[in-house]
């Protein structure tokens, strides 16, 4: 049965004349039908958010209670939500369940942070002529937050925007990805059950070029928080002028397997983390730089570990790699791999496509100008590059325009710390791959991977303004 969903604006469910069809990404059947927002609905959502922010502010303790309740409800509804994610995003069910657990964590951490938002004392009395003054800062919410989210973590990346925004005392208008809007609407139902006052969270569904662009141009929005491609991130930056902006963008994550590495650990880790959710994770392993002394042993173990991955139906509890978000995306990945092969690359495992499912693939004999290496592939494809000098290897790693997260496998402390100082990324994982994230940590990239950090504590810093208060005392 195809379920129908409405927009969530000012605490009400709104049906519109136009609908968006959401397909099951594995079977390609229609899974749900969602009302699409037009200009009027977007206008109403922003006006409701502005009104709620000004007229119904929540105390920090109330924010804590509501966000904590959302976290509990997410766990109570874990299976229902995981099924939605599996259907609309095509995410293997075991990874979908993990996403729900992580979203519950994100809300729990944000609820705790809601009680810890504070400014600091400023010793203005230390300046000559200011002996009779005292000063401190307070943190105030920015107002209306415009959130635009991608398809690949339809719950937890929405959580990373909405939970800290509410924790900081803001109101939110969310535009989820058109491929995966149902999870966000389910979250709205949970907020309603947790008794969030009307207007503090609104969900408007529709394309980036209509709903997204309208939101970008709305001067009542004080801060935009965007996760998605660098191309749209740049557009947002150019359009939103002087507004505050958090940008979480793309990457082509590097992982170095040094001559001192535990190659078995590295191979098993990369097999899991290069291919989870069909490589459609912004920190998926994409470029593996392996020292020539350990290349053979590492490659043998990696190929074996990849052959052990279960590929196919995301509803199967054992599946590791399911479909990509759309068949055209799988075709794109196939084309990039073919281009690499035509240019001298060698597919040592995988390379085949069946509809939207692309087999986990390793390409070797690549060079740095091939798309599989220098662009973000966002598919289950890892390139193997051999090196023998670490300094040169890191220089090549840093030639990427991206810099979100990276990894290095080494048992040598000097090598690990050298890499920590030299690799240009927002986060470097030692003896782990690029794809490590827990939800309380600061998370965000450098260069074209974006600016500003996520992780509730860090987002709250971005989503509040620091206001200075100075007292001029008589004595
Ligand atoms: P995307 O195509 O950039 O879309 C992201 C969001 O932007 C969607 O909601 C999309 O709406 C919207 N959008 C599209 N055009 C727009 C416009 N002109 N104005 C305003 N909004 C617009 O990215 P995606 O394919 O969903 O996600 C994959 C990308 O996200 C990858 O590059 C990945 O690395 C990145 N990502 C980064 C992080 C991180 O934390 N750094 C995390 C996850 C993903 P529609 O869906 O309606 O097009």
Residue-wise pLDDT for 324-346, tens only, equals 999 999 999 999 999 999 999 99
10 φ/ψ sector (left φ>0, alpha ψ -120 to 50, else beta): left
Does the active-site annotation cover 125?
no
Q: Mean pLDDT over residues 244-263, rounded?
A: 98
Q: Is the pLDDT of residue 475 over 90?
A: no
The owner of tokens 């042993």 is 297
Residue 370: which residues within 8 A CB-CB, separation 6 or more?
339, 340, 343, 345, 383
pLDDT by residue (tens digit) across 180-203?
Answer: 999 999 999 999 999 999 999 999
Gap between the Cα atoms of 298 and 327, Å rounded: 32
At 351, the pLDDT band (50, 70, 90 cuts) reads very high
Tell me what pLDDT residue 1 has. 83
At 88, the pLDDT band (50, 70, 90 cuts) reads very high
Q: Mean pLDDT over residues 136-150, rounded?
A: 98
DSSP 474: -
Cα 176 to middle of ligand 1, angstroms: 9
Measured by CA distance, the residue closest to atom 13 of ligand 1 is: 208
Does residue 93 sit in helix, strand or coil? helix
- In this prediction the pTM is 0.97
Q: Quick one: CA torsion of 153, 29, 175, 380, rounded to 10 degrees?
A: 30
For a substitution probing ligand 1, which of 151, 203, 224, 228 has the most ligand atoms within 8 Å of its CB?
Answer: 228
Please state, as a whole number, how many other Cβ atoms lie within 10 Å of the Cβ of residue 303: 15
Gap between the Cα atoms of 374 and 399, Å rounded: 9
Q: Which ranges of 194-326 does DSSP label H, i.e. alpha helix?
A: 213-216, 230-239, 263-273, 295-307
Residues with CB under 6 A from ligand 1: 148-152, 157, 175, 177-179, 207-209, 212-213, 216, 227-229, 232, 235, 248-251, 282, 376, 378, 404, 445, 450
Tell me what pLDDT residue 283 has. 98
Residue 199: which residues within 8 A CB-CB, separation 6 or more?
10, 11, 48, 49, 51, 52, 53, 56, 171
Measured by CA distance, the residue closest to atom 35 of ligand 1 is: 228
For a substitution probing ligand 1, which of 36, 89, 91, 232 has the most ligand atoms within 8 Å of its CB?
Answer: 232
Q: Mean pLDDT over residues 30-43, rounded?
A: 98
114, 60 in Cβ contact below 8 A? yes
Gap between the Cα atoms of 463 and 170, Å rounded: 8
Does residue 170 sit in helix, strand or coil? coil
What is the number of residues in the chain?
475
Does the active-site annotation cover 393?
no
Measured by CA distance, the residue closest to atom 48 of ligand 1 is: 208
DSSP 23: E
The owner of tokens 């930056």 is 237
Does residue 32 sit in helix, strand or coil? strand
Question: Smallest Cα–Cα separation from 11: which of 198, 174, 175?
Answer: 198
Gap between the Cα atoms of 12 and 181, Å rounded: 17
405, 445 in Cβ contact below 8 A? yes
């Amino acid at each position: 049965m195809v379920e129908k969903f409405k927009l969530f604006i000012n605490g009400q469910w709104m049906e519109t004349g136009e609908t968006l069809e959401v397909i099951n990404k594995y079977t390609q059947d229609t899974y749900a039908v969602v009302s699409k927002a037009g200009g009027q609905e977007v206008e109403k959502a922003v006006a409701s958010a502005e009104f709620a922010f000004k007229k119904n502010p929540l105390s920090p303790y109330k924010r804590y209670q509501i966000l904590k309740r959302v976290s509990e409800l997410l766990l109570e509804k874990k299976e229902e939500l995981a099924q939605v994610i599996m259907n609309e995003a095509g995410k293997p069910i075991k990874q979908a369940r993990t996403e729900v657990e992580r979203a519950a964590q994100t809300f729990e951490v944000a609820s705790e942070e809601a009680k810890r938002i504070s400014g600091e004392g400023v010793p203005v009395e230390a300046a000559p002529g200011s002996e009779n003054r005292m000063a401190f800062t307070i943190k105030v919410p920015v107002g209306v937050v415009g959130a635009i989210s991608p398809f690949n973590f339809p719950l937890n990346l929405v959580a990373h925007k909405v939970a800290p925004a509410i924790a900081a005392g803001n109101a939110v208008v969310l535009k989820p990805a058109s491929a995966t809007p149902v999870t966000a609407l389910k979250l709205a139902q949970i907020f309603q059950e947790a008794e969030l006052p009307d207007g503090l969270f609104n969900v408007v569904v529709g394309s980036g070029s209509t709903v997204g662009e309208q939101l970008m141009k709305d001067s009542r929005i004080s801060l935009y928080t965007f996760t998605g491609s660098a191309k749209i991130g740049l557009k947002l930056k150019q359009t939103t002028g002087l507004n505050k902006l958090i940008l979480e963008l793309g990457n082509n994550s590097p992982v170095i397997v040094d001559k001192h590495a535990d190659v078995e650990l590295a191979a098993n880790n990369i097999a899991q983390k290069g291919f989870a959710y069909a490589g459609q994770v912004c920190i998926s392993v994409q470029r593996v730089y392996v020292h020539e002394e350990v290349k053979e042993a590492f490659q043998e173990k990696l190929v074996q570990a990849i052959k052990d991955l279960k590929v196919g139906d995301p509803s199967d509890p054992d599946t590791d790699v399911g479909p990509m978000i759309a068949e055209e995306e799988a075709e794109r990945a196939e084309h990039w791999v073919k281009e690499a092969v035509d240019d001298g690359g060698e597919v040592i495992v995988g390379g085949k496509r069946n509809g939207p499912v692309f087999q986990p693939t390793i390409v070797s004999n690549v060079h740095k100008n091939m798309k599989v290496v220098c662009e973000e592939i966002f598919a289950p494809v890892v390139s193997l590059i051999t090196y023998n000098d670490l300094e040169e290897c890191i220089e090549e790693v840093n030639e990427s325009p991206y810099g979100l997260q990276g990894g290095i496998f080494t048992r040598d402390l000097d090598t690990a710390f050298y890499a920590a100082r030299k690799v240009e990324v927002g986060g470097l994982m030692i003896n782990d791959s690029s794809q490590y994230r827990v939800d309380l940590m600061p998370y965000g990239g450098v260069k074209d991977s974006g600016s500003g950090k996520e992780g509730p504590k860090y987002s709250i810093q971005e989503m509040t303004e620091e206001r200075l208060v100075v007292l001029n005392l008589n004595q």
